[in-house]
Every structure is written in structure tokens, then in C-alpha cells.
Amino acid sequence: MEETRKKRIFSGIQPTNTPHLGNYLGALRNWHRLQEEYDCAYSIVDLHSITVRQDPVKLRAQIKESYALLLAMGIDPDKSIVFVQGHNPAHAQLSWILSCYTQFGELSRMTQFKDKSQKHPENINAGLFTYPVLMAADILLYQADLVPVGIDQKQHLELTRNIAERFNNLYGETFIVPEPYITKSVEKIMSLADPAKKMSKSDENPNATVTVLDDRDTIMRKFRRAVTDSGCEVRRGEGKEGIENLMSVYGAVTEKTFEEIEKEFEGKGYGDFKAAVGEAVADSLLPMREEYKRIIADKAYLERCMKEGAEKAFAASRRTLRKVNKKVGFIDL
């Protein structure tokens, strides 16, 4: 009896700064669970990172650190394709071809291009403009059925679908048109210094963001300093955005509902609650942090995994690229 093909999921992470708690709770911690049900391809998207100027020495270190983190989070290189995007030249090749099937007007409407152009007015480069085409190539190259996306990437995935459908209409069925993968909703994790804005890797306030590699003392200090209101009751309500954010974090790591949290801390103050949130977060991140230390110290193992991941990525993408080359009229040797 023919084995049913598992649906493929593709997802990537940029190697710029250490992922923060919001990244982890919202997406990354689910990646290792997905590999039990799906055929997963996970990539460190280093090519995407250079739309903003990077320190080459720092970037090389961050690529290795990001790769080690994926393994430390439980992603198994024997079950999933875990690779560095730049190690497979097919991404850049397919991106160029797809850019010739993407309209200028489509790219000019991308809100992320507008946002990043405002943030980096001194470096509005062509790569920043064509970034969504490379993202489309990442996804379509592996014939991904599903793509986990946050709200800031939904527009890019829609463009990917448009490109795939346009190419398929011109040349016949070539690409699987990917669907968004919607994970179980986790309340958006906000800044600990300003609960009105999202937690961000680029926040200049070091107390605003908890990274997945912060040690216990650092985590506890950041939560103790978290901005709340002038009240003392641990409950949701108008004007209690800070305490509600902490409740979201506590609920995400303990799997408790808001009602259960309110009951647990009834009669207790913010100090007790902040300490409990800090302890819960530190405990949940400890196994990953310890595994990361082990992996990053084993250079031979890390490099072997990267090499094998690159070979698997190339093998998984080669058929798609050859098919595309043939359909557009290129000669494949």
C-alpha cells in the first residue's frame, strides 16, 4: 500500500540577534512538534538578513548560533531538513526567475518595504524591495503545502501564492500553491518596558525584552522591573495592559487560563506575581539553554549538521529548479 505523503511545512528565521520570548512562544517552540506530523524544512535565512548592513564577523557567528538554537529547541536534523539558506544556491537562482514573473506594482505595495525604508532611509536598496520574491522562492522551491506566518508576513505569503498561480497558469502545474498554517493562538507578547508595543529584538531598552538565552538572574531582574499599573490585583481590565501582558506570558508557559491565573493569585500583589512569572519563564527555557551550550561548543557536530542539512536541502529543491528551468526555456546540463 502506497504511503500517504506528509504535507510539507517551510519556515525560516533570520540570524540577526537572539530570538526573544515573543518569537519563541508565538512560533519557535511549536516547530519541533510540527516535525512529528509534517515533513518540515527549517532554514536560517542568511540571504534575507543583508538587506540591512551587517558586521560580517558578527553575522557568521549569529548564523551558527541561530542554527544551534534550532537544534536546541528540539528540531531533529534526522526528521527535518535544517539548513542555512545561503548554502543552497537554488534559492538565489529561483528568486531571479520569479522576479521576472512579479510585477513592480505588487512589490511597491508591500508594507514591510515601506516600514523598513523609513527605518533605514540611508540604505533603501533593491534587495529590500525584492525581498518578498526571495521569500517566495524559499517556499516554492521546496513545494511547501503550509507556511506558518505571523500577521507581518501574511502579505508576503499572499504574494507568493499569486506568483505561483501566475507561473502555473503560464506553464502548467509547477508549484504547489501554499496555504498559511495557523497555530494555536498565543496572546501577543508585549514589551516589558512599554506594554503598548510588541516585544522586539531591536528595542534599545535592555529591560524591555527577554531573550531565549537570558540566564535566570537576568530573566528575574527583567520581570521584576516590568511596567505595570498602580494597582495590585492580578486580573485583566482597562488600564491594566502591563499586568495583562504578564498574565499572557505566564499563561503561555504554564498553559493556565486567565481565570485560573486570577484565582491562583487572588489576594497576592504584583511583586509575588512578577516573581512567579520570572521563575516560570526561567524554568521553561532552562533545558533549551543548556542544550544550546552543549551544541554550540561542539563545532564538529554543528558543522556536520550544517553540511548534511545543505545536502538535503539541495536534493529536496533540485527537481523543482530543473522543472522551472525547463519550462522557461533554459538548458539544464
Please give the DSSP secondary-structure letter assigned to residue 53. -
Positions marked active-site: 116, 198, 201
Strand partners, 13: 44
Residue 148's SS3 state is strand
Instruction: Give the strands of the sheet with 146-148, arranged side by side.
Output: 81-84, 39-44, 8-13, 146-148, 179-181
Strand partners, 10: 41
Q: Give the sign of the dihedral formed by CA 72, CA 75, CA 78, CA 80.
A: negative
91 Cβ neighbours under 8 A, 6+ residues apart: 47, 85, 134, 137, 138, 141, 317
Distance CA 226, CA 48 (A): 33
Strand partners, 190: 198
Q: Which helix (H) or strand (E) holds 312?
A: helix 299-328
What are the two backbone dihedrals, phi and then psi, of residue 103, each rounded to the nearest 5 degrees? -85, 145
**Residue in the block written with cell 528540531:** 75
